[in-house]
Each structure stands twice: as structure tokens, then as C-alpha cells.
Amino acid sequence: MEPTRGLPDDLLRAAPKVLLHDHLDGGLRPATIVDLAAEIGHELPETDADALATWFAEAADSGSLERYLETFAHTVGVMQTASALTRVARECVEDLAADGVVYAEIRYAPELHVESGLELEEVVAAVQQGFAEGMAAAGDRIIVRHLLTAMRQAARAMEIAELAIAWRDRGVAGFDIAGPEAGYPPTRFIDAFEYLQRENSHFTIHAGEGFGLPSIWEAVQWCGADRLGHGVRIVDDIKVDDAGVAQLGRLASYVRDKRIPLEMCPSSNVQTGAAPSIAEHPLKLLASLRFRVTVNTDNRLMSRTSLSQEFGLLTEAFGYGWAEMEWLTVNAMKSAFIPYDERYRLITETIKPWYAAQVR
């Protein structure tokens, strides 16, 4: 069969992949949303699963992060009971395993799932139940951990950070902040980040997506982020001259020198306007400059994507082959929030042998 892109789709799916940035409430199956909405009487913009899938993709294609985020009302709205959360979490793991993901950190904001009376603890327990069921059903071909997100426009970051620590040995690998970036700098939550650092924990911060360098600078230099969610706008601190030589500003140099991972999400970045197109995505420049770039899905529902599809788009746009895909995958595995020995084992026993076996 002719490959549709630079690398054949079936092999892109089979390749072991690592996913660090994927929202649980951005990855529901459309048919599941229809089922869950019917159970609780939640009104949807479309009641047919295919039409609903199209609605999400089109509504999220807004060019603005704020409008993109409005679509989550219809996913969060149906994720308010323990059984719904468990189902969504289990299906998430099944879908990722079917796409060849071998390790994933899935994030969600517990504070968004308490509208019908669940406690924060019960939200995490329900998601953990679904992850455990999904991993078992996949024959342990995939490892999934939670990242607990606090919403920037709310004021519960400290509580959520404490929840992440309480669950650190029961599936939670770290913490994140998400939501509208402009007007909500990460320093508003400095107490939560300092608490996590004192607890020897890990966190990532959405930064450099809906706002520029000041947001990245605060995330790195004030808050101590281990990784950057997106971080696309770090290119604003890089100048490429007519001869194609790149000059890095001090912040860009720092991010590269410290090997701070960038959780890049190509399709999502085009939808929110953080990147003009896949072909012009800063990922290519940043990867060529050897930043610690990783490839992610962000919201598979809103972007109608999968991790293999994101890699497919990059192979098509930039001519990437197995060597680049392996580099990006090992970058992601090195940047995960699980212990070093577990990361090392996945790299040496699962990832490297598979890529070594491909004809290049």
C-alpha cells in the first residue's frame, strides 16, 4: 500500500510513542459524550456523534485560546459523576494504547468535576479506577499517570497541589496550570509551586501559547516549571538572519541550556492561533536548534487527532523520518515525571529496540 505521508500510517500507529500533554476532558469519544449527555439531560449542540465531532473541531478552530476553551463546557458538563469519569478515563487509555502510546501523562482539573457533589478526592479516585481498568485491558502495554491541573481563572491551586501530593503514590505524577493565559500570569500561584518544590514534586505550566515571553519567563524563572506546556512563543526570543543563522536571546538560551522540555501540540497550536500553520510551526526551528522538543496532542477531540496523526503531519510537512521521530519520542520519555529508572527502562527496552528495527 502507498504511504499517504512520509511514513506509512500503520507503522506510525505501531511505533512506540510517549504523550506528555493530553487533556482528559479534551479527548472523549463523541459517541460517549452523546451517551453521557442523554443520561443526565445535558443539552448538546449536536446529538449525532459524527455531527458532534465536526462541531467540536469547527468550534475549536477559532484562532483564539479563549474561544477554543469554551467548547469544554460540553465535555466537562458530562463528566460530573464517578461512573462517567471512570468510563472516560478507561476509554482514553484504550484509545491511546490502540494508537501505540506506551506512556502517557493525562491531565484534567479536578475542581471542574464537582458540580454534582463529588469531592476532589472522589474525582481522582474515579479517574484512577478508569486508568487502571484501561491499562489492565491493554495487557499493560501502556502506562498512564495523572497530572492534576488547577485552572488559572480560579483560586484553588494550593488545594489541587496538595491533592497531587496526597495521590503521588497512587498514580498522580505531577501538577499543571491551564485555562486562559493572558491576564492570568503563573506567579499568581507561586505558593502552590513553592509547596510542590519543597515536596520534591514535579509540575508543568501552560505558557507561551495564548501569551508571549513574559509568561514563559515567569513560569521558568519565578515558578520553577520543570516543563512548559506548548512554549511555542519562545521563538519570539530567537532571531534568524538572512543567512539562516539563529541568534538566541537570554531566555531562549536558558530554556535550551537547561534542557527544559517543550510540550508542543501542533494541531492545537494552529487552532488557537499560537502557530500560523503546521508547515510554519516553530517546532521545526526549535528541533533543529536542539531544544528539548516533544510532540503532543493536547485535545484529541477538539483537534480530531491522535499522536500518530500529529507525527504524520510532521513527517509530511518537514520530511521527518524514523530518526527524528525516535529523537522526539526519547525526548518525551526523558522528560516524563516518573522515576529515572522507569524512564530508562522504557527507553532501552521498548522505544530504542523498535526504532532500531526500522529500515531508515
Ligand X SMILES: O=c1[nH]cnc2c1ncn2[C@H]1C[C@H](O)[C@@H](CO)O1
Q: Per the annotation, where are the binding residues?
A: 21, 23, 25, 179, 206, 298
Residue 69 makes contact with ligand X by CB under 6 A = yes
Applying CB under 6 A, the span of 23-31, 54-62, 247-255, 323-331 interacting with ligand X comes to 23-31
- Nearest residue to the partner ligand X, using Cβ: 178
Residue 176 makes contact with Zn ion by CB under 5 A = no
Residue 298 makes contact with Zn ion by CB under 5 A = yes
The distance of closest approach from Cβ of residue 178 to ligand X in the complex, given in angstroms and rounded to an integer, is 3
- Distance, in Å, from the CA atom of 311 to the CA atom of 7, rounded to the nearest integer, reads 9
Tell me 233's DSSP state. G
Centroid of chain to Cα 95:
15
Residue 209 makes contact with ligand X by CB under 6 A = yes
Cβ atoms within 10 A of the Cβ of 113, count? 24
Contact pattern from residue 228 through residue 267 relative to ligand X, giving x for each residue in contact according to CB under 6 A and a dash for the rest: ----------------------------------------
- Distance, in Å, from the CA atom of 164 to the CA atom of 147, rounded to the nearest integer, reads 8
The distance of closest approach from Cβ of residue 151 to ligand X in the complex, given in angstroms and rounded to an integer, is 7
Q: Letter for the amino acid at 170?
A: R
Residue 25 makes contact with ligand X by CB under 6 A = yes
Residue ranges for the binding site for Zn(2+)? 21, 23, 206, 298
The distance of closest approach from Cβ of residue 263 to Zn ion in the complex, given in angstroms and rounded to an integer, is 8
Instruction: Say if residues 316 and 5 touch (Cβ distance below 8 Å).
Output: yes
Cα–Cα distances in angstroms (integers) from residue 312 to residues 13, 42, 92, 160, 271, in the given order: 9, 35, 20, 35, 17
- Distance, in Å, from the CA atom of 7 to the CA atom of 255, rounded to the nearest integer, reads 31
Residue 107 makes contact with ligand X by CB under 6 A = yes
Residues with Cβ within 8 Å of residue 47, at least 6 apart in sequence = 34, 37
- Distance, in Å, from the CA atom of 195 to the CA atom of 188, rounded to the nearest integer, reads 14
Tell me 308's DSSP state. H
Catalytic residue among 209, 218, 310, 324: 209
Task: Tell me, yes or no, if 218 is annotated catalytic.
Answer: no
CB nearer to ligand X: pick between 12 and 78:
78
Contact pattern from residue 321 through residue 340 relative to Zn ion, giving x for each residue in contact according to CB under 5 A and a dash for the rest: --------------------
The distance of closest approach from Cβ of residue 152 to Zn ion in the complex, given in angstroms and rounded to an integer, is 12
The distance of closest approach from Cβ of residue 148 to ligand X in the complex, given in angstroms and rounded to an integer, is 10
Residue 25 makes contact with Zn ion by CB under 5 A = no
First to last CA, the chain: 18
Residue 162 makes contact with Zn ion by CB under 5 A = no
Nearest Cα to 13, choosing from 332, 335, 360, 311? 311
Residue 179 makes contact with ligand X by CB under 6 A = yes
Kindly determine how many residues on this chain lie close enough to bind Zn ion according to the rule CB under 5 A.
1
Residue 79 makes contact with ligand X by CB under 6 A = no
Cell numbers that stand for 308 in this block:
500518530
Applying CB under 6 A, the span of 18-26, 85-93, 248-256, 351-359 interacting with ligand X comes to 18-26
DSSP 3-state percent helix, strand, coil across the chain (nearest 5): 50, 15, 35
Instruction: Say if residues 129 and 180 touch (Cβ distance below 8 Å).
Output: no
**Which amino acids are annotated catalytic?**
209
Residues lying near Zn ion in the complex (CB under 5 A) are found at 298
